[in-house]
Chain A
């Protein structure tokens, strides 16, 4: 794990972590990892795991990110972070703007305006339990917990093996 972290910026990250140095890598480096490179939500993923919200990750955050993305992380935890990832404006709700952004990222802006609005409406109509026009975490979790392949699509194995030793 640390090897991966180190090799992204060998000159910044010290090999020896016993002194607990305060090193952070900027988002630009992190999102170029092969695991994240093609992910449309890479910026969101990284910034939702960074403690300062700016997107730069300390080693702890880095480990954290992979532990959540790993196969072994429990479903609830994944749901929490997935919610964070999809919540673009970090207001603790997935509102229409968030949905639009998600859609555009996902489809690389290939859908037309009407299609996007239609889909957003549909999504909110389906999942919004309290009728406030946006998805709270409860809505999101409820929805996601019923998805058949949410878990399957949301893990990385390679990292989990190395991570297992930490706890």
Chain B
């Protein structure tokens, strides 16, 4: 695995010190491996040769990093395990040297993490229905599962509501309240006691149920109950309010969380097709049927997208569809109005029936709720039919459908509650009359007539089931005999208080509605899903068409409608919770039943909806509906509480003017007086108005902040977008440039091949490849190249500065090459890099032949050695053998490969300098005819400069800037080539076998090579400044090695800076090392004796070093 000694990249990521040690210590072995980039492989090697504590520390840090994010690495598991083991080992081994405590801390953290994980796993067991939901999810995808998760969430809310009401209202009443039958409001009237246990009475929630904790009427009116003095009425009121408050808070919290999530992932729809393709499959699906329908859904969605795409091009001027949509909307409105009217009518009729008939049939009793439930069941299907008319986009259709169904549900609930409140209205009116009568037990005739009149004016609203008859009687008689009327009224009064409890009535109705709704849901699941499924599955074999795929099919699981149904259900609960404290408890049971039934039905006989509504957990749509529902359901309750007088004879608030009076009363009576005064102050307009104002201001402020944030958000998004498009453009440009270069490359080798007949077979593949890579990174035109060069000179003031731009540029170049696939294709990129190296060298070599043939040779040879390219070697040798004779012609042709042959030549025989010198001349002559004159001055200038410098700067500590300037001056002066005579000294150095000469040669030669190499580069049209700089950058480093002893701070700083720069970019650093080693190799064979000499001869070395530095800085 990765523990291979390679990965200089990773090493590069270490410190600069590290870098240096590597430089010093590494022999060739580092370079046996191609420069791997990046952390692709890696880890635990780093045997940390040095014992520098900081380095060890860094190593440990690094290994820890590996350990911490090993899960995030795309390695095979085996590799991961090994890496982890290794990293742990290393950390253990070295950490002891530094600190153990840190290790203990880490161990503790690890232990804690493990414990948390265990606890989490344990807790998962207790999440209700977790496994069931997962199972559904795995069969039907997350769309269906989201319904169940929503259901579970609602279940949780209802549990809390149940606990609230149960603990603070129901239980105290049961434990400490007056027992059943003790008071009037808690006893069943005598007339009803006989039928109190009848099924239909129970069914209509009368009888015993009516006089139980289920409903408002049962709760006692005593201000304090039990020994502890529990204030039940106050608790009742507060809990009623707390139910709403809690629901609001939890809903808003959830919504805020969701919207944060969805906002975070909100993005512009740029990738419709991509997402539909790559993100379409639900990886959770494990059921063949679900898979099939999912595939169908994907087909649908893709077709849809295609259609949409085509739709965009088309203009929508279809009058037919518009008219159809108008018709459809009218139809929907009509049906909505119709359903509302029907409900109102039914409520009205039931009231009339109650008035006219003594005994109501079962149907008549439950008419209202049955009708409401029927409408809620049928109307959505009708809407669906209507929606087909509209020909909207399926998603829009779904939205419309949902909105309509929601409106329908709301309309139903509202018409019901309004009808009920109407009734309550009339009830309370009669109540008040009756109470008037009752209170004035000494009834005067006037009041009697008044009450009578009242009764007469509103006969229709007297809906008491049993009291009705008496009133009717009283009507007939009351006109004549007033005394009897009074008696009657009194008797009536004593009889009826329990029945007049409108709160109980509303609660009853709501509970009834809920029950009926549950029954209908169960029935529909059984009928529509289960039996249909059964029929379809078992009858399809003996039927004349395929039942499974044609007409009845299997029932679909309509997520959206089902979720809406849940919302509706919850709305009913909220509406009735105040009047029937046990409603949440009932709802809990209902939801549990629903959970099991639905999940069973889904798993056995449903198929997922074809057009899956993407209802993720982070989707706020359901929650928004729920919130809407909550608000609208809260309104009637609040209205009833604020508007109506509580029933006189039942419930905890009887006798009060308004229900909320209980609060003020409690404050007045049970709190200290100062609190009372405080409250009065607070509630006075003086405080309330400013507070309201402040609130408004706060809202406005927050909103404006939100708006501005949104604005900046949009701006940032725009910025990103433009940047992205710019990136796109850039990349496209690069691609174009690359293509051009490729073309150019293809041409060049062709020209060459015919001349180099022998080598071509071996080499033809490599140069082309290399060339392409090189061109890859050099899309810059000639003109710009020259510019950059001229810039680089002034930049190159101190050596560090030289390094920096040089370092920076290769980075960009590499990034450019790798741009199409930055992080993904590490391996290929590595190949590129490895290839690039030889390519650079080759190219340079090939170029060199034009300017200065000899110099590159020394440089090149080691390079090849390092690369250990056997093919190349062979080729070179081959050339070598016969090129000795054929050297000249090759040179004349200025073929790139000629150089290669020289190089071998040179390497093998140092003494063949004479020939080389001659070649030199010829070559230059040759070049003069060429068109690259501007390169000459530099080249020559080098030589001119060289001599003065040796005299000029005997001290290594000399400020290089001065020299730099000087050199520049020289450069300016010496534009024209000084002719070949100037050039000769260089070869002469080489020829000279004396010690001085030798040293000079080795040194200068390298420099000269460099020069020439650069020049050679410049010759090339595509030559890239980056490459040029890179080369130049690398030059200074060799200097460090042979002279590490003599070199003073300068070299140190320089190398430091280099490594600092390089550490930032692993790629780059690898380059550094690479070339640097080439140099050392180059040096070693030649300077065996030279090194010893150097030590003795400091002066010479110093003088040597100067020019070297200058060269590097100058370039």
Interface residues of A (CB under 8 A from B): 34-35, 37-41, 49, 51, 58, 60-61, 63-64, 67, 69, 72-74, 76-77, 80-83, 86, 92-93, 99, 102-103, 106-108, 110-111, 115, 118-119, 122-123, 126-127, 129-132, 136-138, 140-141, 143-144, 146-150, 152-158, 161, 164-165, 167
Contacts of A118 in B (CB 8 A): 306, 309
Partner pick for B279 among A130, A132, A147, CB 8 A cutoff: A147
Task: Flag whether B519 is at the interface (Cβ < 8 A).
Answer: no
Contacts of B282 in A (CB 8 A): 153
With known contacts A35-B286, A106-B295, A130-B819, A137–B279 Cβ distance under 8 A: no
Distance A157 CA – B284 CA, assembled complex (angstroms):
9
Distance A73 CA – B74 CA, assembled complex (angstroms):
11
Partner pick for A123 among B273, B292, B303, CB 8 A cutoff: B273
Interface of A is mostly: helix
Are A153 and B277 in touch, CB under 8 angstroms? Answer: no
Partner-binding segment picked from B205-213, B264-272, B445-453: B264-272
A-B CB contact pairs (8 Å), 15 listed = A35-B138, A35-B286, A39-B285, A63-B77, A102-B277, A102-B278, A106-B280, A110-B295, A126-B273, A144-B274, A144-B279, A155-B284, A156-B138, A158-B138, A167-B71
Distance A67 CA – B732 CA, assembled complex (angstroms):
37
With known contacts A74-B71, A129-B731, A149–B279 Cβ distance under 8 A: yes
Are A148 and B731 in touch, CB under 8 angstroms? Answer: no
Chain B, 249-283, contact with A by CB distance < 8 Å: what is the 0/1 string?
00000000000001001110011111101111111
Partner pick for B277 among A38, A92, A123, CB 8 A cutoff: A123
Distance A141 CA – B275 CA, assembled complex (angstroms):
12
Task: Flag whether B1093 is at the interface (Cβ < 8 A).
Answer: no
Identify the closest chain A residue to B117 (Cβ): A164
Distance A51 CA – B275 CA, assembled complex (angstroms):
29
Identify the closest chain A residue to B617 (Cβ): A152
Identify the closest chain B residue to A151 (Cβ): B265
Are A80 and B74 in touch, CB under 8 angstroms? Answer: yes
Distance A127 CA – B824 CA, assembled complex (angstroms):
16
Residue of B74, B117, B296, B732 ringed by the most chain A CB atoms within 10 A: B74
Identify the closest chain B residue to A158 (Cβ): B134
Are A137 and B731 in touch, CB under 8 angstroms? Answer: no
Are B270 and A82 in touch, CB under 8 angstroms? Answer: no
Partner pick for A156 among B283, B288, B731, CB 8 A cutoff: B283
Distance A146 CA – B274 CA, assembled complex (angstroms):
11
Partner pick for A136 among B81, B734, B825, CB 8 A cutoff: B825
Task: Flag whether B124 is at the interface (Cβ < 8 A).
Answer: yes
Are A138 and B820 in touch, CB under 8 angstroms? Answer: yes
Partner pick for A154 among B283, B287, B734, CB 8 A cutoff: B283
Task: Flag whether B760 is at the interface (Cβ < 8 A).
Answer: no
With known contacts A138-B824, A153-B279, A127–B274 Cβ distance under 8 A: yes
Contacts of A161 in B (CB 8 A): 121, 124
Distance A24 CA – B728 CA, assembled complex (angstroms):
44
Task: Flag whether B747 is at the interface (Cβ < 8 A).
Answer: no
Known: A93-B821, A138-B824, A156-B138. 12 other contacts (CB 8 A): A34-B286, A35-B138, A64-B77, A92-B821, A92-B824, A132-B735, A137-B821, A138-B820, A143-B271, A144-B278, A154-B283, A161-B124
Are B735 and A126 in touch, CB under 8 angstroms? Answer: no
Distance A103 CA – B372 CA, assembled complex (angstroms):
47
Distance A34 CA – B290 CA, assembled complex (angstroms):
13
Are A37 and B286 in touch, CB under 8 angstroms? Answer: yes
Identify the closest chain A residue to B614 (Cβ): A149
Are A129 and B274 in touch, CB under 8 angstroms? Answer: no
Contacts of A165 in B (CB 8 A): 117
Are B134 and A74 in touch, CB under 8 angstroms? Answer: no
Distance A136 CA – B266 CA, assembled complex (angstroms):
24
Are B267 and A60 in touch, CB under 8 angstroms? Answer: no
Distance A153 CA – B81 CA, assembled complex (angstroms):
28
Q: How large is the interface on B (under 10, 10 to 19, 20 to 34, 35 or more residues)?
A: 35 or more
Smallest Cβ distance from A53 to chain B, in angstroms? Answer: 11
Name the 10 nearest CB pairs between A and B, nearest first.
Answer: A137-B824, A38-B291, A136-B821, A60-B77, A64-B77, A130-B731, A122-B273, A146-B267, A131-B732, A80-B74
Contacts of B299 in A (CB 8 A): 107-108, 110-111
With known contacts A92-B821, A107-B299, A39–B81 Cβ distance under 8 A: no
Are B281 and A146 in touch, CB under 8 angstroms? Answer: no
Task: Flag whether B1085 is at the interface (Cβ < 8 A).
Answer: no
Task: Flag whether B686 is at the interface (Cβ < 8 A).
Answer: no
Contacts of A110 in B (CB 8 A): 295-296, 299
Are A147 and B287 in touch, CB under 8 angstroms? Answer: no
Distance A110 CA – B270 CA, assembled complex (angstroms):
25
Smallest Cβ distance from B233 to chain A, in angstroms? Answer: 48
Task: Flag whether B823 is at the interface (Cβ < 8 A).
Answer: yes
Partner pick for A153 among B271, B284, B724, B727, CB 8 A cutoff: B284
Are B731 and A115 in touch, CB under 8 angstroms? Answer: no
Contacts of A132 in B (CB 8 A): 735, 820
Smallest Cβ distance from B420 to chain A, in angstroms? Answer: 43
Distance A12 CA – B305 CA, assembled complex (angstroms):
48
Distance A148 CA – B280 CA, assembled complex (angstroms):
11
Are A74 and B283 in touch, CB under 8 angstroms? Answer: no
With known contacts A38-B286, A119-B277, A155-B283, A61–B76 Cβ distance under 8 A: yes
Are A127 and B271 in touch, CB under 8 angstroms? Answer: yes
Partner pick for A126 among B70, B77, B270, B727, CB 8 A cutoff: B270
Distance A2 CA – B880 CA, assembled complex (angstroms):
63
Distance A137 CA – B277 CA, assembled complex (angstroms):
16
Distance A102 CA – B121 CA, assembled complex (angstroms):
36
Smallest Cβ distance from A113 to chain B, in angstroms? Answer: 13
Task: Flag whether B142 is at the interface (Cβ < 8 A).
Answer: yes
Contacts of B73 in A (CB 8 A): 77
Distance A81 CA – B73 CA, assembled complex (angstroms):
11
Are A153 and B728 in touch, CB under 8 angstroms? Answer: no
Are B134 and A103 in touch, CB under 8 angstroms? Answer: no
Distance A131 CA – B124 CA, assembled complex (angstroms):
48
Contacts of B267 in A (CB 8 A): 146, 148
Contacts of B81 in A (CB 8 A): 60
Distance A20 CA – B670 CA, assembled complex (angstroms):
77
Task: Flag whether B488 is at the interface (Cβ < 8 A).
Answer: no
Smallest Cβ distance from A137 to chain B, in angstroms? Answer: 3
Chain B, 44-81, contact with A by CB distance < 8 Å: what is the 0/1 string?
00000000000000000000000000111110111011
Distance A83 CA – B823 CA, assembled complex (angstroms):
13
Smallest Cβ distance from A39 to chain B, in angstroms? Answer: 7
Distance A68 CA – B731 CA, assembled complex (angstroms):
32
Task: Flag whether B111 is at the interface (Cβ < 8 A).
Answer: no
Task: Flag whether B535 is at the interface (Cβ < 8 A).
Answer: no
Partner pick for B302 among A51, A67, A115, CB 8 A cutoff: A115
Chain B, 599-616, contact with A by CB distance < 8 Å: what is the 0/1 string?
000000000000000101
Contacts of A102 in B (CB 8 A): 277-278
Contacts of A40 in B (CB 8 A): 281, 291, 295
Smallest Cβ distance from A83 to chain B, in angstroms? Answer: 7
Contacts of B309 in A (CB 8 A): 118, 122
Task: Flag whether B298 is at the interface (Cβ < 8 A).
Answer: yes
Residue of A34, A137, A148 ringed by the most chain B CB atoms within 10 A: A148
Are B284 and A131 in touch, CB under 8 angstroms? Answer: no
Partner pick for B616 among A51, A67, A115, A149, CB 8 A cutoff: A149
Are A38 and B74 in touch, CB under 8 angstroms? Answer: no
With known contacts A108-B295, A153-B283, A157-B134, A103–B277 Cβ distance under 8 A: yes
Smallest Cβ distance from A93 to chain B, in angstroms? Answer: 8
Residue of A73, A86, A164 ringed by the most chain B CB atoms within 10 A: A164
Identify the closest chain B residue to A135 (Cβ): B274
With known contacts A132-B735, A153-B282, A107–B822 Cβ distance under 8 A: no
Contacts of B616 in A (CB 8 A): 148-149, 152
Contacts of B274 in A (CB 8 A): 123, 126-127, 143-144, 147
Task: Flag whether B828 is at the interface (Cβ < 8 A).
Answer: yes
Distance A77 CA – B72 CA, assembled complex (angstroms):
6
Are A38 and B290 in touch, CB under 8 angstroms? Answer: yes
Are A130 and B822 in touch, CB under 8 angstroms? Answer: no
Smallest Cβ distance from B1015 to chain A, in angstroms? Answer: 34
